[in-house]
Amino acid sequence: MAIAEEYGLDLIEISPQANPPVCKVLDYGKYKYEVQKRKNEAKKNQKVVEIKELKLRPMIDTHDYEVKVKQAKKFLKEGNKVKFTMRYKGRELSANDMGRAVLDRLLEDLEGLCKLDSAPKLEGKQMMMIISPEK
């Protein structure tokens, strides 16, 4: 402690269980600042993956379908996940194989760009499927 006070620094106990305890003489404020700076630098380099949602209907027209495929490709190239939501109204729910066919066609058109995270599953009046970009 005398050495730490002599240099105007702090005495920090590193390993109290060791015999004798291990201590270090350093400027604690500067140490905390450097740790915070490293943490912020690591945070800056992280890429936050967003989930982009595209909503579809089972009786989608060809041009509308092509627009959705184009948007999905753009989202995948940006590195985001894409969630396709197939919405059913009225009697469409009884023929949900039409919606599944559209989702399967989407997977075929996006083949090579994406991998399937969650297969199409029906939840209430919606069928959802999530894909993520291929590495």
pLDDT at 71: 96
Domain-wise residue ranges, the chain: 2-44, 51-133
pTM for the predicted model, two decimal places:
0.66
pLDDT at 14: 83
3-19 per-position pLDDT tens digit: 888 888 888 888 888 88
Domain 2-44, architecture per CATH: Roll (3.10)
Residue range 51-133 in CATH 3.40.718.10:
no
Q: Judge whether 130 and 81 are in contact, CB under 8 Å.
A: yes
Residue 135 has pLDDT above 80, yes or no: no
Enumerate the H helices of the chain as residue ranges.
2-7, 28-44, 62-77, 97-109
Lookup result for tokens 């627009």: 67
Residue 47 has pLDDT above 90, yes or no: no
pLDDT at 1: 83
pLDDT band at 126 (very low <50, low <70, confident <90, very high): very high
pLDDT band at 131 (very low <50, low <70, confident <90, very high): very high
Cis peptide before 20 (omega within 30 of 0): yes
Q: Judge whether 83 and 51 are in contact, CB under 8 Å.
A: yes
Nearest one of 135, 110, 132, 125 to 51, comparing CA atoms: 132
pLDDT band at 103 (very low <50, low <70, confident <90, very high): very high
CA pair distance 86, 59, nearest whole angstrom: 10
Residue 66 has pLDDT above 80, yes or no: yes
pLDDT at 120: 92
